[in-house]
Amino acid sequence: MKLLVTGGAGYIGSVVAAQLVEAGHQVTVLDDLSTGHADAVPAGARFVEGSVTEAADVLPGMDGVLHFAAKSLVGESVEKPGRYWAHNLGGTLALLDAMRSAEVGRIVFSSTAATYGEPERSPILETDPTRPANPYGASKLAVDTALSTFAGLYGLAAVSLRYFNVGGAYTGEDGRVYRERHTVETHLIPNVLAVALGGRDSVSVFGTDYPTSDGTCVRDYIHVADLARAHLLALDACSAGEHKIYNLGNGTGFSVQEVLSVCREVTGHEIPAVMCERRAGDPAVLVASAEKIQRELGWKPEHPSVRDIVADAWAALPR
């Protein structure tokens, strides 16, 4: 297929673009490089530097879109909500209009567990209430809603994948390594590994009084290679007039302290941790039920262990 990958110079988008190229698709990456890196675009893909609002120029002749381009910092979304509505919802609406004009009827969208907010139960099912706790989650949920509307009204074939906590690195068939390298890093595993590498003195543990086994937050970690593979399955599962939503996690929770222990084991470094106040808006436990995607798309994780995720992230860091 001829496919457009928006945000394909970012962490997850670049891994999906690489897997699509490896599967024999013709891939064009559209990315404004606001947070992505031009050298993350896989060698076999065409690269167009530009924003999603310029997608009309590259859409004609495409069979589908994988849409990653977005602002994704929760804290920033609370400070500057307008930016999140404009980029994430406004940008996607412009993309959807351009897709209609160019008669491109298939989209796989990068949604998030943040659409659920504070869950009522664990693991979370796709049918559970969506009550996002911040503008980032709200803007992604608004896109999910728009996709449902466009599927019903215009026959769009859409799949939303709701990511839980993505980590690890991907080594392409050509040996190239794709890894997380955000300028502003908020995520747990890269922050912990930065300490092991010597770039920082200690890692902050946000909250030790949650109602969990050790008092720290519990999350469902998924390997970026497994996550990316689900996008190829989703592309094939797109069906005209339908908007399908799938959680994408492993269905197992690990606490911040447990992740820290795994990182200490894998790296052999002490990794000092400082216990801090809770971070605003963090639910105590976020664990996916991944039963639907396993049942309907036949997705199965190849790297379900946090150890693999941490080990691959660690091995990919430049020394």
| 170 classed as catalytic | no
Within 8 A by CB and 6+ apart from 130, the residues are 115, 116, 117, 141, 144
**Span of 15-23, 35-43, 148-156, 203-211 interacting with ligand UDP by CB under 6 A:** 203-211
Closer by beta carbon to ligand UDP, 191 or else 239: 191
Within 8 A by CB and 6+ apart from 221, the residues are 164, 165, 166, 167, 189, 249, 250, 254, 259, 306, 309
Q: Which of 56, 85, 206, 208 binds ligand UDP (CB under 6 A)?
A: 206
- Based on the shown chain and the rule CB under 6 A, indicate whether residue 187 belongs to the binding site for ligand UDP: yes
User: Is the peptide bond between 123 and the residue preceding it cis, with omega within 30 degrees of 0?
Assistant: yes
Closer by beta carbon to ligand UDP, 2 or else 278: 278
Q: Which of 35, 77, 92, 165 binds ligand UDP (CB under 6 A)?
A: 165
* Least Cβ distance, residue 129 to ligand UDP (angstroms): 19
- Based on the shown chain and the rule CB under 6 A, indicate whether residue 70 belongs to the binding site for ligand UDP: no
In whole angstroms, give the CA distance from residue 222 to residue 25: 25
Contact 284, 212 (CB under 8 A): yes
- Based on the shown chain and the rule CB under 6 A, indicate whether residue 188 belongs to the binding site for ligand UDP: yes
Spot the catalytic one: 11, 84, 116, 136: 136
**For residue 35, what are its two tokens?**
């947070």
**For residue 133, what are its two tokens?**
């706790």
How crowded is the C-beta side of 243, counted as CA atoms within 13 Å? 19
Closer by beta carbon to ligand UDP, 22 or else 282: 282
Describe the crossing of helices 11-22 and 224-237 by its angle, rounded to 10 degrees.
60
- Based on the shown chain and the rule CB under 6 A, indicate whether residue 294 belongs to the binding site for ligand UDP: no
Nearest residue by C-beta to ligand UDP? 217
Q: Which of 48, 52, 151, 205 binds ligand UDP (CB under 6 A)?
A: 205
Nearest in space to 4 (alpha carbons), one of 63, 90, 92: 63
Closer by beta carbon to ligand UDP, 28 or else 216: 216
- Based on the shown chain and the rule CB under 6 A, indicate whether residue 191 belongs to the binding site for ligand UDP: yes
> What is the binding site for ligand UDP (CB under 6 A)?
165, 186-188, 191, 203-206, 217, 219, 256, 279, 282
Q: Which residues are catalytic?
A: 136
